Amino acid sequence: MADPTMVQDRMQAKKEVRRIKNLPTVPGIVAKISRIVENPETSVNDVGRLISQDQVLSAKVLRMANSAFFGMSRKISSISQALVILGFEVVKGLVLTSSVFDMIQKSMAGLWEHSIGCAAASGVIASYLGRDDAEEVLVAGLLHDLGKVVLALNLPEEMKLVRDKVERENLYFYEAENLLLDFNHAEIGEWLAEHWNLPESLAEPMRLHHKPEKAVLKPEWTSIVHVADVIIRAKGFGNGGDAMVPSVSPAAWEILGLKKTDFLPILELLEPKLNSLKDLTALN
């Protein structure tokens, strides 16, 4: 059983982050979408119309929908079409990501590239495994490190301490966080997911992508994002906060039924995607 004092300390840390630094608010458009879909009378067209009102946002979402992520054979030219083809949850994930794009860009050099790389790798692994939810898993990959954005923007001093320690002692980013802060970006990600009312299926990979063996709700999604994170670090695509490449957790191999020999074909599928994702590196 967990030590009650520790549980209390962590609750306190969670409260502190929330109270003192205020988590970023959910982008207005995402909050609105969540509200209108609760109405059973809402149609795909209503949601499409709402997103389309914001032209900059719609353009970003369409660019992502037409990017190498999804490898569509025909162009998606409207938000309504994206909703029909990719599904509501995926479009919502793209809206969320596009609305926090500037925030991600400002937070840490290379984190956006790390995030889209991890998204692409998550999608590729899911398709390689023959899953029919590759698009949703991709969104989980896109959001997995959002906790680092909060750390960089809301707790800049703590972030600097972490980054210095990573560099000085050659540690993993989350190791340095755990040593210095008593909480890490994965936990912050979970609080953010809760604060933004994201589904638990996305919150779990945010919380457990460094410990996939603990996942209970979507162990496959969490393991895929975990493996994708390792692969994208090994490829040196973007910057996840440290220059280390962890090994894949034995539990993730087992949960996904992957073998080391699967790596090469996965990398071969990923390579062309990463090359064509370059146009998303500046999503203006």
Would you count residue 187 as binding Fe ion (CB under 5 A)? no
Identity (one letter) of the amino acid at 167?
A: E
Candidates 61-69, 76-84, 157-165, 228-236 — which segment interacts with Fe ion by CB under 5 A?
228-236
Asked if residues 57 and 98 have their Cβ atoms less than 8 Å apart, the reply is yes
Interacting residues of 253 by C-beta distance below 8 A, sequence separation 6+: 259
Distance CA 272, CA 62 (A): 20
Interacting residues of 54 by C-beta distance below 8 A, sequence separation 6+: 29
Candidates 28-36, 124-132, 139-147, 157-165 — which segment interacts with Fe ion by CB under 5 A?
139-147
Would you count residue 123 as binding Fe ion (CB under 5 A)? no
Q: How many residues bind Fe ion (CB under 5 A)?
A: 3
Nearer to Fe ion, 93 or 240 (CB): 240
How far is residue 235 from each of residues 26, 64, 76, 228, measured CA to CA in Å?
Answer: 32, 21, 30, 10
- Count the Cβ atoms, other than its own, within 10 Å of residue 257: 9
Would you count residue 189 as binding Fe ion (CB under 5 A)? no
Nearer to Fe ion, 29 or 138 (CB): 138
214 DSSP assignment:
G
How many CA atoms lie less than 13 Å away from 228 in the CB half-sphere? 37
Would you count residue 229 as binding Fe ion (CB under 5 A)? yes
Smallest gap from Cβ 148 to Fe ion, in A, equals: 7
Candidates 51-59, 92-100, 195-203, 221-229 — which segment interacts with Fe ion by CB under 5 A?
221-229
Nearer to Fe ion, 145 or 220 (CB): 145
Smallest gap from Cβ 151 to Fe ion, in A, equals: 11
Distance CA 65, CA 240 (A): 24
Q: Which of 46, 18, 149 is nearest to 96 (CA)?
A: 149
Interface residues for Fe ion in 255-284 (CB under 5 A)? none
Q: Which of 113, 135, 145, 177 binds Fe ion (CB under 5 A)?
A: 145
- Count the Cβ atoms, other than its own, within 10 Å of residue 186: 22
Interacting residues of 250 by C-beta distance below 8 A, sequence separation 6+: none
Would you count residue 240 as binding Fe ion (CB under 5 A)? yes
Candidates 9-17, 33-41, 123-131, 223-231 — which segment interacts with Fe ion by CB under 5 A?
223-231
Nearer to Fe ion, 145 or 204 (CB): 145
Candidates 44-52, 132-140, 152-160, 239-247 — which segment interacts with Fe ion by CB under 5 A?
239-247
Interacting residues of 243 by C-beta distance below 8 A, sequence separation 6+: none
Task: Give residues in contact with Fe ion (CB under 5 A).
Answer: 145, 229, 240
